[in-house]
C-alpha cells in the first residue's frame, strides 16, 4: 500500500463503471483489460484510489448490482487473475482499489436463491431470504405494502413444483434481486468471508451498497399511513445495522494499511446519518445532500455548513460527490431550470442549456475540490460529458421499465467513454453496448489532452494543487462574505476558493496570485465560474497545467 496514514480522509477517488470505461477485447463491453491499459491515464489524472462498481459474475439485471458469485469476475469483464493483476498494477501507480459490496440482495441466479426456490416453504434454504405466505384467503396479496426504491412492487410470488402459486419473496429492488435475511448467521458469515476474500487480494476498501437497507423488522409490519412507528421504519436505517458494520470494521482492522468502509447511505436525518460514521463503524459515507442541491449560493452554502456540522461530532471527514452511475450528469443537471436532483423528477426531453451547464459543472468541480474531506469523481465527469438521451430501444436500466417508461432511467450517464478519434466508438473498443452521441469528438481524452483549457486539464490541475498545497490538508474552512451570490471560503491561512453563482461578474478579493480558474478571468470573476486564489506566494506548488 502507498504510505499515508488517514489516506482516505482527503483522498480523490475515481469511480470506474467497468462496463463503460474501456473495452480491451473489442466486444463493445468495457472490461478489466481496458482498465489496465488505461492506468497511465488514471495516474495522469492524479487520483488516489479507484472504486469499481460490481465486477462480479452477474446476469446484469441491474448493471451488476445483482451479484451471482462474489468470488468470480463476470466473464465479460475478465478473470479473477486479471483483477488481481489490476489491483497490483494500480498500486504500482500509487492507486488503491475499492470494490463494491451489495449486502441487501443478491442475484436470483445466486446458488443460495436457486436452492431456496427448489426447497420447501419453511426450509432452512428459504430462511436466508424473506419468503412469506401472501395475505388474503388464497395468499394472493403481497405480505406487506412496502414501496420499492425502483418504484413498483417489492414482493414476487413463487410457484410450487406442482405449478400452484406459492410463497412470496421480498425484493426492495427488482425481482432479480431477492433481499437477504440479515438475521441469519449464514448471511453474516458469508459477507465477512467475502470482505476477507477481497482484502486478501489487496483492496484498500469497500463501498457498501444501499447500506441503510439490509436489516428488516422481522414482524414485517406495513408502512404506516401518517406518523412513523416507534420501532422505526420496517426496512430503512434500523438500529441493528450498526452491529453489522461494527463487525465489518473489525474485519477491516485485521488488515494493515487502513482498509476502509464507505457507505452508500441515503438518509435525510443528519444525526441518523452520522451514526454510521461513529468510531468503530464506517470510515466515510457518500454525502448526497450536497449533490442534490440546485445551482444556488445559499442552498449550496447551507448544505456545506450542514455537512461539516453533522460530521464534526463523530470525527469523520465529509465526502464530496457531484455525481455517480445513478444520477444525471452535472453538465446536464446544472443546465436545467431546476438544477436540483431528485430521482422522481427525471423525465425525457427536459430543456437543457448545455453551454451554461458545462460552465457550471466546471465551476462546481473546482468548488468541491476545494472543500475539506474526500472527493469522488465519476468517470467521464472529468471530460465534461453530458447525460445522453438514448433511443428507447437502447435502454436497459430497470428503473426505466419499472417507471412504466416515464423515467429515462440511469443509462444516460453510463454511456461508454470517448478516448480518441472523430466518430463512435471513439477509441472505446468495439461497438459500444450503449450508443455514443455523434458530437463527442471534441470531448475525447485525445482531444482534451492537447487543449490546455480543456475540462480534463482543469481536473488534472485541480487534483495536483489540492494534493500539493498544504492549506487543503486540514478539516476546516472559513467563509468569506463577498455577496449573496458568491460562495467564497478560505482554506488554511493562504488559499481561497471563490465561486460566482450570480448573473454578473464580481471582483476578486485581494490576492497574490490566481492558482486556477474554471473560466478566463479578465480581472473579474465571471458568472458561473470558480477561481482558486493564493493570498501569498506558495512554496512547493504543483506544476500549472491550465489557466
Ligand atoms: C445502489 C446502486 C444502484 C443500484 C442499487 C441496488 O443504489 O448505486 O446502482 O441499482 O443500489 O443495488
Ligand atoms: Ca470487452
Q: What is the pLDDT of residues 408-440, one digit of tens each?
A: 999 999 999 999 999 999 999 999 999 999 999
Q: How many A from CA of 325 to the centre of ligand 1? A: 9
- Max Cα distance, the chain (Å): 80
Ligand 1 site-directed mutation target among 326, 328, 376, most atoms within 8 Å of CB: 326
Residue 356, burial from CB neighbour count under 10 angstroms (0-12, 13-18, 19+)? middle
Q: Are 100 and 90 in contact (CB under 8 A)?
A: no
257 backbone dihedrals φ, ψ, rounded to 5°: 80, 20
What span, in angstroms and rounded, lies between the C-alpha atoms of 536 and 512? Answer: 5
Q: Which ligand is nearest to the CA of 26?
A: 2
Q: Give the pLDDT confidence score for residue 230 in this predicted structure.
A: 78
Q: Whose alpha carbon is nearest atom 3 of ligand 1?
A: 326
Distance of CA 427 to the CA centre of its chain: 25
Q: Per CATH, is 111-170 categorized as 3.90.400.10?
A: yes
Q: Which uninterrupted H or E stretch holds 92?
A: helix 80-92
- Ligand 2 centroid to Cα of residue 45, in Å, is 23
Instruction: Clarify whether 209 is annotated catalytic.
Output: yes
Q: Which long-range contacts (CB under 8 A, 24 or more apart) does 291-295 make?
A: 291/321, 291/322, 291/323, 291/327, 291/341, 292/340, 292/341, 292/342, 293/340, 294/338, 294/339, 294/340, 295/334, 295/339, 295/360, 295/364, 295/501, 295/528
Residue 454 and residue 450: Cα distance in Å, rounded? 8
Supply the pLDDT for residue 231: 81
Instruction: From 18, 54, 58, 65, give the residue whose CB has the most ligand 1 atoms within 8 Å, as the site to mutate.
Output: 65
Q: Is-contact 286 341, C-beta < 8 A?
A: no
Angle value at C-alpha 42, between 543 and 376, nearest 5 degrees: 90
Ligand nearest to C-alpha 28? 2
**pTM score:** 0.97
Closest ligand 1 atom to residue 104 Cα is 12
Q: What is the mean pLDDT of the chain?
A: 96
Residues having CB closer than 6 A to ligand 1 are 62, 65, 102, 173, 209-210, 264, 325-326
**For residue range 315-341, what is the model confidence (pLDDT) as tens digits?**
999 999 999 999 999 999 999 999 999
Residue of 58, 68, 206, 209 to mutate, ligand 1, most atoms within 8 A of C-beta: 209
On whether the CB atoms of residues 177 and 107 are closer than 8 A, the answer is yes
Cβ neighbours of 25 (radius 10 Å): 13
Of the residues 54, 178, 210, 264, which should be mutated to test ligand 1's pocket, given the most ligand atoms within 8 Å of the CB? 210
How much is the pLDDT for 388? 98
Protein residue with least CA distance to atom 6, ligand 1: 65
Strand partners, 261: 206
Q: Which residue has the cell 483483477?
A: 83
Nearest Cα neighbor of 235 from 148, 168, 313 is 148
Decide if 128 contacts 188 (C-beta within 8 A). no
CA of 26 to the centre of ligand 2 (A): 5
User: Nearest ligand to the C-alpha of residue 19?
Assistant: 2
pLDDT, position 545:
43
Q: What is the pLDDT of residue 538?
A: 84
Residue 58, SS3 per DSSP: coil
The pairs formed by 351-358 with CB atoms below 8 angstroms and a separation of 24 or more are 352/386, 354/386, 356/528, 357/330, 357/331, 357/332, 357/333, 357/386, 358/331, 358/384, 358/386, 358/455
Main-chain dihedrals φ then ψ at residue 524, nearest 5 degrees = -120, 165
CATH for 8-104+185-449 is: 3.20.20.80
Task: Name which residue sits closest to atom 7 of ligand 1, judged by CA.
Answer: 210
DSSP H helices in 392-526: 398-402, 445-449, 455-468
Contact 47, 13 (CB under 8 A): yes
pLDDT at 547: 37
**At what angle are helices 455-468 and 354-369 packed, to 10 degrees?**
10
State which ligand 1 atom lies nearest to the alpha carbon of 399: 10
Q: 540 C-alpha vs ligand 1 centroid, how far in Å? A: 41
Residue located via cell numbers 406495513: 222
Residue partners of 543: CB distance under 8 A and separation at least 6: 464
Options 239, 240, 254, 451, the catalytic residue = 254
C-alpha distance across the termini of the chain, in Å = 34
Cell 487520483 -> residue: 47
Least distant ligand from the CA of 25: 2
- Asked if residue 456 lies in contact with residue 382, where contact means CB atoms within 8 angstroms, the answer is yes
Task: Look at strands 69-73 and 56-57 and give their pairing.
Answer: antiparallel
Instruction: Give the Å distance between the CA of 340 and the centre of ligand 1.
Output: 20
Q: CA-CA distance, 395 to 434, in Å (whole number)?
A: 8
Ligand 1, pocket-test mutation among 56, 62, 152, most atoms within 8 A of CB? 62
Contact between 379 and 324 (Cβ < 8 Å) = no
Low-confidence ranges of the chain (pLDDT < 70): 1-4, 540-547
- How close is the Cα of 15 to the center of ligand 1, in Å? 14
Q: At what angle do helices 241-253 and 185-200 cross, to 10 degrees?
A: 30
Strand partners, 141: 135
Here the cell at position 81 is: 487473475
Please give the backbone phi and psi of residue 207, each rounded to the nearest 5 degrees, phi first. -95, 130
Measure 209 CA to ligand 1 centroid, in angstroms: 6
**Ligand 1, atom 12: nearest CA belongs to which residue?**
65
Question: Strand, helix or coil at 369?
Answer: helix
Is there a catalytic annotation at residue 254? yes
Question: What's the grid cell of residue 350?
Answer: 427536459
- Which atom of ligand 1 has the smallest separation from the CA of 266? 7
> Which atom in ligand 1 lies closest to the alpha carbon of residue 398?
10
Atom of ligand 1 at shortest range from CA of 62? 10
> How many other C-beta atoms can be found within 10 angstroms of the C-beta atom of residue 504?
10
* Enclosing H/E stretch for 97: strand 96-101
Domain ranges of the chain: 8-104+185-449, 111-170
Question: Relative to the alpha carbon of 213, which ligand is closest?
Answer: 1
Structure confidence at residue 1 (pLDDT): 56
Instruction: Tell me the three state secondary structure of residue 489.
Output: strand
Distance, CA 456 to ligand 2 centroid (Å)? 25
Ligand 1 atom closest to Cα of residue 65: 12
Using left for φ > 0, alpha for ψ between -120 and 50, and beta otherwise, residue 22 falls in: beta
Q: Which ligand is nearest to the CA of 325?
A: 1
- Which residues lie across from 529 on neighbouring strands? 500
Nearest residue (CA) to ligand 1, atom 4: 65
Which one from 57, 66, 209, 407 is the annotated catalytic residue?
A: 209
pLDDT for position 2: 63
Give the DSSP letter of residue 473: G
Distance from residue 66's CA to the centre of ligand 1 (Å):
9
Query: Among candidates 496, 446, 488, which has minimal Cα distance to 471?
Result: 496
Burial class from Cβ neighbours inside 10 Å (0-12, 13-18, 19+) for residue 427 reads middle
Convert 174-206 to b/e letters by CB count within 10 Å (16 or more is b): bbbbbbbbbeeeebbebbeebbeebbeebbbbb
Give 25 Cα–ligand 2 centroid separation in angstroms.
Answer: 5
Amino acid at each position: 500500500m502507498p504510505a499515508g496514514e488517514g489516506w482516505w480522509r482527503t483522498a480523490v477517488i475515481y469511480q470506474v463503471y467497468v462496463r463503460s470505461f474501456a473495452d480491451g477485447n473489442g466486444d463493445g463491453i468495457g472490461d478489466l483489460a481496458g482498465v489496465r491499459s488505461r492506468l497511465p491515464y488514471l495516474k495522469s489524472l492524479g487520483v488516489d484510489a479507484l472504486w469499481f462498481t460490481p465486477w462480479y459474475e452477474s446476469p446484469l439485471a441491474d448493471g451488476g448490482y445483482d451479484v451471482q458469485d462474489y468470488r468470480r469476475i463476470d466473464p465479460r469483464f475478465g478473470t479473477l487473475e486479471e483483477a488481481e493483476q489490476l489491483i497490483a498494477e494500480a498500486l504500482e501507480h500509487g492507486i488503491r482499489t475499492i470494490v463494491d459490496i451489495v449486502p441487501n440482495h443478491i442475484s436470483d441466479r445466486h446458488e443460495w436463491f436457486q436452492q431456496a426456490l427448489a426447497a420447501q416453504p419453511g426450509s432452512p434454504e428459504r430462511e436466508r431470504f424473506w419468503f412469506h405466505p401472501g395475505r388474503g384467503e388464497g395468499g394472493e396479496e403481497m405480505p406487506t405494502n412496502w414501496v420499492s426504491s425502483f418504484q413498483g412492487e417489492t414482493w414476487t410470488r413463487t410457484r410450487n413444483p406442482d405449478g400452484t402459486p406459492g410463497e412470496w419473496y421480498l425484493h426492495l429492488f427488482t425481482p432479480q434481486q431477492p433481499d437477504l435475511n440479515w438475521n441469519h448467521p449464514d448471511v453474516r458469515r458469508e459477507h465477512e468471508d467475502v470482505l476477507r476474500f477481497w482484502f486478501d487480494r489487496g483492496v484498500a476498501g469497500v463501498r457498501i451498497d444501499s447500506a441503510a437497507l439490509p436489516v428488516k423488522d422481522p414482524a414485517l409490519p406495513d408502512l404506516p399511513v401518517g406518523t412513523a412507528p416507534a420501532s422505526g421504519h420496517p426496512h430503512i436505517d434500523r438500529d441493528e445495522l450498526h452491529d453489522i458494520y461494527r463487525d465489518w470494521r473489525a474485519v477491516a482492522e485485521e488488515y494493515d494499511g487502513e482498509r476502509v468502509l464507505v457507505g452508500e447511505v441515503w438518509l435525510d436525518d443528519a444525526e441518523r446519518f452520522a451514526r454510521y460514521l461513529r468510531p468503530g463503524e464506517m470510515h466515510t459515507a457518500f454525502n448526497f445532500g450536497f449533490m442534490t442541491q440546485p445551482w444556488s449560493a445559499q442552498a449550496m452554502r447551507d448544505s456545506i455548513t450542514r455537512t461539516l456540522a453533522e460530521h464534526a461530532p463523530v470525527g469523520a471527514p465529509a465526502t464530496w460527490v457531484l455525481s455517480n452511475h445513478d444520477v444525471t450528469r452535472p453538465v446536464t443537471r446544472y443546465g436545467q431550470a431546476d438544477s436540483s436532483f431528485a430521482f422522481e423528477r427525471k423525465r425525457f426531453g427536459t430543456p437543457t442549456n448545455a453551454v451554461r451547464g458545462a460552465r457550471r459543472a466546471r465551476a462546481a468541480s473546482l468548488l468541491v475540490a476545494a472543500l475539506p474531506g474526500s472527493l469522488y469523481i465519476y468517470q467521464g465527469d472529468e471530460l465534461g460529458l453530458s447525460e445522453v438521451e438514448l433511443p428507447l430501444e437502447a435502454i436497459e436500466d430497470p428503473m426505466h421499465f419499472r417507471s412504466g417508461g416515464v423515467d429515462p432511467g440511469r443509462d444516460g450517464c453510463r454511456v461508454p467513454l470517448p478516448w480518441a478519434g472523430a466518430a463512435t466508438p471513439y477509441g472505446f473498443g468495439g461497438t459500444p453496448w450503449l450508443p455514443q452521441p455523434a458530437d463527442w469528438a471534441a470531448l475525447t481524452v485525445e482531444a482534451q489532452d492537447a487543449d490546455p483549457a480543456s475540462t480534463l486539464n482543469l481536473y488534472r490541475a485541480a487534483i495536483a494543487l489540492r494534493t500539493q498545497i498544504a492549506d487543503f490538508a486540514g478539516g476546516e474552512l472559513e467563509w468569506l462574505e463577498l455577496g449573496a451570490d458568491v460562495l467564497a471560503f478560505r482554506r488554511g491561512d493562504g488559499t481561497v476558493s471563490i465561486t460566482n453563482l450570480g448573473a454578473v461578474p464580481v471582483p476578486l478579493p485581494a490576492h497574490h496570485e490566481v492558482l486556477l480558474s474554471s473560466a478566463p478571468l479578465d480581472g473579474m470573476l465571471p458568472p458561473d465560474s470558480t477561481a482558486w486564489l493564493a493570498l501569498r506566494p506558495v512554496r512547493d506548488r504543483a506544476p500549472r497545467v491550465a489557466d
